[in-house]
Amino acid sequence: MRGPQEVNGIVLFSRNYRESDKLVKIFTESSGKRMFFVRHANKKNSQINSAIQPFTQANYIGDLKEEGLSFLNSAKDIHPFFAIQQDIFLSAYATYILNLSDAAIDDNVYDPFLFGFIKDSLTLIDEGYDAEIITNIFEIQLLQRFGIQLNFSSCAICGSQEEPFDFSDKYHGVLCQKHWSMDDRRFHYSPRALHFIRLFNHISFEQIKSINLSDETKQYIRQVIDSIYEEYVGLHLKSKKFIDDMQNWKEMMPKRENKIDKQDNTN
């Protein structure tokens, strides 16, 4: 009989179950997403409570089941993303990233690359990098997990990589200016936004420090990604609506300092 297993994981969400127990969904590096039953998690003396808080990574020890609920016994090497936990703006973007990840693949699917992508995204947000840009990159590169293959790299007609581009639903990708006439219903996106969408499609997080975007450009990018997700994915998450609503009232708050937050620039 198989004994307890130890898995590295990130909490996706948790909810109360009965009076003192919890159900906690964890994205594990080695076994995919699993729903864990945690007995007596809500009791004051619970030793595992800190490990199952939102935006927490740890090594979890328990009995993993291929079907039904797994059982979580203990945790070690607990790493909370403190800045995200304490900031409503950061937690909004982080929640959206986690919700997208949960929707993108089925439970019990081994996907260590996505696990690492989530971990790196949360780490950068926690360290003070622009949460909007990190989220945009995550959204664009996650499209493949939804089975969406779009050509952002070159013109779908001639293969040109010369800007400006616009996006064509008809050709499932970008068109160079010479071939805009091939699709009268092209999206008429901002060429500046598409420049960064193309960059986000293949950029690695090691290159993040060289990107600075104005608020206006970030707004254009948001419009492009929203329309692509609406057209191709059709996913409507409460966490995304919260981010949309948040944009309306965060202007009343003091200007936030980000490690990526200036005029448009790529080096």
Tokens linked to 241: 């609506």
* CATH number, position 50: 2.40.50.140
Regarding whether 187 and 63 lie in a shared domain, the answer is no
The one-character DSSP state at 239 is H
What is the number of structural domains in the chain? 2
- For residue 1, the model assigns a pLDDT of 46
Higher pLDDT: 94 or 262? It is: 94
> How many angstroms separate the CA atoms of 191 and 162, rounded?
11
Same domain as 89, residue 58: no
Task: Name the band, by pLDDT with cuts 50, 70 and 90, for residue 40.
Answer: confident
DSSP class of residue 231?
I
Read off the tokens for 240. Answer: 């995304």
Which CATH number belongs to the domain containing residue 127 in this structure? 1.20.1440.120
Would you state the pLDDT for residue 159?
A: 97
Residue 258 lies in a domain: no
pLDDT at position 249? 67
pLDDT-based confidence at residue 254 (cuts at 50, 70, 90): low
Within a 10 A sphere around the Cβ of 238, how many other Cβ atoms? Answer: 10
Please indicate, yes or no, whether residues 247 and 162 belong to a single structural domain of this protein.
yes
229 and 116 housed in the same domain: yes
Domain end call among 80, 108, 128:
80
Distances (CA, A) of 44 to 38, 81, 86, 138, 141: 14, 22, 21, 37, 41
Helix (H) / strand (E) element for 192: namely: helix 191-200
Q: How many whole angstroms from its chain centre is CA 158?
A: 32
- If asked whether residues 95 and 220 sit together in one domain, one would say yes
Query: Is the domain of 101 the same as that of 194?
Result: yes
Q: What is the pLDDT of residue 207?
A: 82
Residues 90, 160, single domain; the answer is yes
pLDDT band at 172 (very low <50, low <70, confident <90, very high): very high
The answer to whether position 16 is within a domain reads yes
First to last CA, the chain: 56
Instruction: State the Cα–Cα distance between residues 189 and 186, nearest whole angstrom.
Output: 8
Query: Is residue 243 a part of any domain in this protein?
Result: yes
Residues 157 and 119 in one domain: yes
Note down the domain range covering 106.
85-251
Q: Is residue 264 part of a domain?
A: no
Mean pLDDT along residues 159-173? 96
